[in-house]
Amino acid sequence: MPVAGALGIEAVAMTKRFGDFVALDDVSLKVAAGSFHALLGENGAGKSTLVKCIMGYYRPDQGAVIVGDRERSIDNPRAAHALGLGMVYQHFTLVPAMTVAENLVLARAELPAIVDWRRESEALEGFLARMPFRVPLDVKVSALSAGERQKCEILKQLYLERRLLILDEPTSVLTPPEADEMLGLLRGLSDRGEITVLMITHKFREVMAFADEVTILRRGRLAAQGKVADLTPDDMARSMIGAEELTAAPARLDRRGEARLEIRHLAALDDGGQPAVRDLSLSVHAGEIVGVAGVSGNGQRELVEVLAGQREASAGEIRIGGEAYHATRDEMRRHKFSCLPEEPLRNACVGRMSVAENLAFREFDRPPFAFGGVWLRKSRFREEAEGKIRRYRIKTRSPETPVGMLSGGNVQRTVLARELGERVEVMISANPCFGLDFSAVAQIHAEIIAARNRGAAVLLVSGDLDEILEIADRIVVMFNGRLVHETPAGRADLVEIGRHMAGH
Amino acid sequence: MAIAIGDKLAGRAALGDRLRQAAEGVVIPTLALIAAMILFGIFVAVSRVDPLELYAVMYRGAFGTWFSWQNTLTRAAPLILTALCTALPAQLGMVIIGGEGALVMGGLAATAAALALPGAPPLAVQLAMALAGMTAGGLWIALAGGLRHYRGVNETISSLLLVYIAIALLNHLVEGPMRDPASLNKPSTRAIGAANMIGSIPGTDIHWGLVFGIIAAVLAYFLVYRTTFGFAARIAGGNMRAAKVVGLAVGRLVLAMCFLGGAAAGLAGMIEIAAVHGRANGNLAAGLGTTGILVAFLARHNPLAVIPVAVLLGGIGASGGLIQRRLGLPDASVMVLQGIIFLMVLASDALYGRIRFFAPRGG
């Protein structure tokens, strides 16, 4: 029986290089046993790299890890597990088709060839009785809500007798109440000295409410470290961003016009043929940003795919400017339709084609790119691209670089430059800032608001409620394929929205 | 000024990346070819034949003399066209392996067109044959494309199965409705007539099919890389979801690309009739379509690269007779070599992006 109780950990002067790129530069981190430590930073700041070095996924070029009071060399995740370190990921690692009990038992490192399920479930009941929260053991994971699944993930770590939990943005798929509940449980466990928590996050609210200490990384270096009680969110934000100039969002003009995009009784099926969007009606007016909030997986993706032309609607209709809309190229042009889908490399770009070519996807069959609508004029691709690369600050080595080699922010800037290059009247945008750094987010938000000010009807679907609260004029909540709540952004009530996101 | 210089440097770096990328596309298939030759060398060594002597004989049989060159180029002509049947739909990310079926249908339709126009001027007959052959082959592969796009049927399987249907149709027609009663040993249709044959390039024994093949490959290259149609196809082939987001009519692209690929193979069938056999019979299904798949894959589906690769494969085929006579190996041995090459080329696909030297340095 291994020693129980929380485990302290210290990373000393960790450095990790990938080729010429220094992902982690001489970062030290000390997490006291039984504390709740937050690791803050923008995307690409080195948070994941640091954690992966601790967990043995990466081998640091320099530095050491001290677990408890001894220096340990952790060569692979199994070694980390043996020391009592466990990790909970942003995405679930449970097998959906199995019950909770099966998932827990099968996660064990050593499993007998024949599992005596009766004895195991007795042992599990005994284990659960000691836990501060319960989950139903005989239910299939696929039937659990996101919050319950995340609880199972934590329970699994405790069942495996991990004494230090590293959580990588554990609340990103949860509603605010679910997130609070889960973090509260973790907080309780650490207060009782049962586990130590190291949580990667980018949400200040969670840091302020639950963490004792915080470490902030910026561009692979240690930017700040200290007790949460001594810091304000503003201090933390400054440490995260540094002296970088952010694009200021333009002032919002009140230019709400006629209904431009109308969705009537729309229904769509998901990939498995199950209803994903059910009888959804919504109109977006000119000069308005409508934010669609909701926990991901409630039909938002299918809704966006129908609007973008990637999926057939099974019922209902879409009208733009009073005309029926079927996402053909002609209609997109006539209605000045543009789309910023999520995961731009998967949805809006061809990774092996160049930046210049990707920038021309909307216009390549018209002058100046094409001669007579048939013959491509290669030189114009480069010229047009150079202007857009400068205007949208796309960091690329040349217009001929394959877009797949750019960083996420620059791929999204490329799509932004293409989609906003011409006048826009209708814009569909889905998680446009997912995984991007502050400067890219600020620029994208500023461009979306500018398009709105010019009279565009913008539909913004986002899993990030803060993003919606920040730039939407009107908020609707999507749950189980339907819109269940609507409120003007000015009078939005976070509790009310959270309740509807969870389907209550 | 500084920016301009920076741009120029960046341009040069990108050029370096492009060269590295192009080199990757040449070096890896070449490595696959060499690996296949080593394996085949072991295979013949087991039969007590010296591999080095074998390759020397093969070289002479394929490229050693003017006679062998003519043989090689004659064999290469239909391979260029059937390779396009795989290479063109491949731009859309489709794997079509039914070139043989399109060739057979093209040959049948061309024969039917010639037999339906007795007494017409030869040029008109030849044009009608080419049109009929291309249409039939094109529709045959467009059928596989349509099944894929509108019904979700895997195009590789359907195009392969369509080959068997085409061959069954050929057998049915040449043994039944279209049979020439005078053809006793080998059921065939009536001959299209010597006047309607397309003949050879003057001063050679190479028929005009080679010229048609080269023209088709060059046209295909420009279609893919220089026209808006090809650009749209490359978007859809690179990422179907992105193509839909920008509103491209993907279904039309699929049908058109498959039709063009099938039309190339259909033209190969027409040439087989009008330049070689003079009538349709079982000889039409001689595996040219199948070898075309190999050519397309070795050429990485680049229509221009198809030409030299077809010549290479034509040469391997041409050397079969000589290695039989000189080394006592069955002439089907070259089919073994072809098979090994195909396996190696498919396996070498896993190497792309893995060899550090070819990795782009841009950022």
Residue B361 pLDDT grade (very low, low, confident, very high; cuts 50, 70, 90): low
**Greater model confidence, A136 or B358:** A136
Q: Which of B221, B225, B241 best probes binding to A when mutated, by most A CB atoms within 10 angstroms?
A: B241
The pLDDT > 90 percentage for chain B reads: 64
> Which two structure tokens, joined as six digits, stand for A474?
């009107």
- Give CA–CA dist A386/A322, Å, rounded: 37
Handedness of CA B7, B12, B15, B20 (dihedral sign): negative
* Pairing label, strands A213-218, A36-41: parallel
pLDDT at residue number B7: 46
What pLDDT, on the 0 to 100 scale, is given for residue B10? 46
- What's the gap between Cα A289 and its chain centre? 21
The answer to whether A193 contacts chain B (CB < 8 Å) is no
Question: CA–CA separation, A431 vs A448, rounded Å?
Answer: 12
Q: How many angstroms separate the Cα of A81 from the Cα of each of A31, A63, A112, A329?
A: 17, 20, 19, 53
Check if A346 contacts B (Cβ < 8 Å).
yes
Identify whether the C-beta of residue A337 lies closer than 8 Å to the C-beta of residue A375.
Answer: no
Q: Please list every residue in chain B whose beta carbon sits closer than 8 Å to the beta carbon of residue A353.
A: 234-235, 238
The label of the residue with tokens 């990328």 reads: B21
Cβ–Cβ gap A398/B247 under 8 Å: no
Helix (H, G, I), strand (E, B) or coil at A192: coil
| Among A47, A56, A60, A80, residue whose Cα is nearest residue A18 | A60
Interface of B with A (CB under 8 A): 7, 10-11, 13-15, 17-18, 226-229, 231-232, 234-235, 238-239, 241-242, 244-249, 360, 362-363
What are the structural domains of chain A? 9-241 (3.40.50.300), 252-336+424-504 (3.40.50.300), 348-422 (no CATH)
- The alpha carbon of residue B61 and the mean position of all alpha carbons in its chain are separated, in whole angstroms, by 22
Strand ranges in A19-109 using DSSP code E only, listed in sequence order: 21-31, 36-41, 62-67, 70-72, 85-88
Contact partners, residue A297, CB within 8 Å, separation at least 6: A146, A173
How many Å lie between the alpha carbon of A344 and the closest alpha carbon of chain B?
9
Question: Does the pLDDT at position B4 exceed 70?
Answer: no
- Position B3 confidence tier, pLDDT thresholds 50, 70, 90: very low
Mutate to test the interface with A, among B224, B244, B246 (most CBs of A within 10 A): B246
β partners of residue A12: A64
Mean pLDDT for the stretch of residues B231-246: 94
The residue type found at A123 is A
User: Which region holds residue B152: left if phi is over 0, alpha if psi is between -120 and 50, else beta?
Assistant: left
Q: Does residue B44 or residue B142 have the better pLDDT? A: B142
Q: Given a cut of 70, is residue B181 above it in pLDDT?
A: yes
Are the CB atoms for A451 and A339 separated by under 8 Å?
A: no
B297-333 CB burial, b ≥16 within 10 A, e <16:
bbbbbbbebbbebbbbbbbbbbbbebbbebbebeeeb
Contact A352 B227 (CB under 8 A): no
Q: Provide the b/e sequence for B165-196 (b: ≥16 CB within 10 Å).
A: ebbeebeebbeeebebeebeeebbbbbbeeeb
Mean pLDDT confidence for B271-286: 91
**CA-closest candidate to residue A260, choices A422, A415, A428, A417:** A428
Q: By the CB < 8 Å criterion, does A327 face chain B? A: yes
A353 touches chain B (CB under 8 A): yes
Residue pair B301/B91 in contact (Cβ under 8 Å)? The answer is yes
Query: Which chain A residue lies closest to B229 (C-alpha atoms)?
Result: A374
- The whole-angstrom separation of Cα B169 and Cα B341 is 31
Residues from chain B that touch A361, judged by Cβ atoms under 8 A, are 235, 242, 246
Q: Tell me the chain A residues in contact with residue B235 when contact means C-beta distances shorter than 8 Å.
A: 350, 353, 361
CA distance B357 to chain A (A): 14
Q: How many CA atoms lie within 13 A of B177 on its CB side?
A: 7
Beta bridge partners of A323: A320
How far separated are the first and last CA of chain B, in Å rounded? 22
Residue B170 and residue B352: Cα distance in Å, rounded?
40
H runs (alpha helix) in chain B: 2-46, 51-59, 66-90, 99-116, 122-151, 155-175, 209-226, 228-238, 240-245, 250-271, 288-298, 306-318, 320-327, 333-348
User: What is the pLDDT, as a whole number, of residue B5?
Assistant: 42
**B320-327 and B333-348 helices, crossing angle to 10°:** 130
Report yes or no: B294 and B309 within 8 Å, Cβ to Cβ.
no
Look up residue B228 and give its two tokens. Answer: 């808006």
Contact of A26 with A220, CB cutoff 8 Å: no
b/e map A195-218, b = 16+ CB within 10 Å = bbbbbbbbbbebbbebbbbbbbbb
Among candidates B268, B299, B298, which has minimal Cα distance to B198? B268
Chain A contacts of B247, Cβ < 8 Å? 309, 327-333
Is the Cβ–Cβ distance between B150 and B249 less than 8 Å? no
Q: Do B362 and A397 touch (CB under 8 A)?
A: yes
Question: Torsion-angle region of residue B144: left (phi > 0), alpha (psi -120 to 50) or beta?
Answer: alpha
Shortest distance between the Cα of B228 and any Cα of chain A, in A, equals 5
H or E segment and range at residue A8: none
Q: Is residue B339 within 8 Å of B69, Cβ to Cβ?
A: no
CA angle, corner B30, sides to B22 and B157, nearest 5?
Answer: 90
Distance CA A457, CA A212 (A): 44
pLDDT of residue A134: 77
Here the tokens at position A129 are 């009785």
**Residue A492 to residues A12, A470, A487, B49: CA-CA distances in angstroms?**
45, 11, 6, 85
Q: At what angle do helices B2-46 and B51-59 cross, to 10 degrees?
A: 120
Instruction: Provide the pLDDT for residue A503.
Output: 76
Which of A357, A266, A23, A34 lies closest to A164 in space, CA to CA? Answer: A34
Nearest CA in chain A to B232: A361
Judge if the upstream peptide bond of residue A96 is cis by omega within 30 degrees of 0: no
Closest partner residue to A374 among B227, B246, B248, by Cβ? B227
Edge to edge, the sheet with strand A288-293 lists A337-340, A426-430, A457-461, A288-293, A474-479, A482-488
Tell me the helix, strand and coil percentages in chain A, rounded to 5: 35, 25, 40
Record: contact A401-B229, CB cut-off 8 A: no
Answer whether A351 sits within 8 Å of B238, measured CB to CB: yes
Which ipTM value was assigned to this complex? Answer: 0.82
Q: Which of A27, A36, A461, A385 is nearest to A212 (CA)?
A: A36
Residue spans of alpha helices (H) in A192-299: 204-210, 233-241
In CATH terms, B66-329 corresponds, of 1.20.58, 1.25.40, 3.10.450, 1.10.3470, to: 1.10.3470
Searching chain A, which residue's CA lies closest to the CA of residue B356? Answer: A19
At position A112, the amino acid (one-letter code) is P
Counted residue by residue, chain B has a size of 363
- Whole-angstrom distance, CA of residue A417 vs CA of residue A209: 39
Question: pTM score, two decimals?
Answer: 0.79
Torsion sign, CA atoms A463, A465, A468, A471: negative
pLDDT at B9 over 50: no
User: Which alpha helices (DSSP H) does A3-46 contain, by range?
Assistant: none
Task: Note down pLDDT in tens along chain A; length 504 residues.
Answer: 345 688 899 999 999 887 767 888 999 999 999 999 999 887 668 888 899 899 998 889 999 999 988 888 888 888 898 899 999 877 778 888 899 988 888 888 788 888 888 888 888 888 888 777 778 888 888 888 777 888 888 889 888 889 999 998 887 777 778 788 888 988 998 998 889 999 998 778 888 999 999 999 988 889 889 999 898 888 887 887 776 666 777 878 777 889 999 999 999 998 888 899 999 999 999 999 999 998 878 899 999 999 999 999 999 999 999 999 999 999 999 999 999 988 888 899 999 899 999 999 998 988 888 888 889 888 889 999 999 999 888 888 889 888 988 877 788 889 989 998 778 999 999 988 876 777 778 888 998 999 999 999 999 998 888 889 889 999 999 999 999 999 998 888 888 888 888 777
- Beta-strand pair A196-201/A213-218: unpaired
Taken in order B140, B143, B148, B151, is the CA torsion positive or negative?
Answer: negative
Name which of A309, A351, A386 is nearest B247 (Cβ-Cβ).
Answer: A309
For residue range B79-107, list pLDDT tens digits in order. Answer: 999 999 999 999 999 999 999 999 999 99
Q: So what's the pLDDT on residue B15?
A: 65
pLDDT of residue B204: 85
Q: What's the confidence (pLDDT) of residue A1?
A: 34
**C-beta atoms of B241 and A365 within 8 A:** no
Instruction: Classify residue B2 as exposed, middle or buried by CB count within 10 Å of its CB (0-12, 13-18, 19+).
Output: exposed
Instruction: Report d(CA B42, CA A186) in Å as an integer.
Output: 65
**Residue range B289-298, pLDDT digits in tens:** 999 999 999 9
Q: How far is CA A207 from CA A187, A212, A217, A240, A464, in A?
A: 11, 8, 14, 14, 17
Instruction: Mark yes or no for CB contact A361/B238 under 8 Å.
Output: no
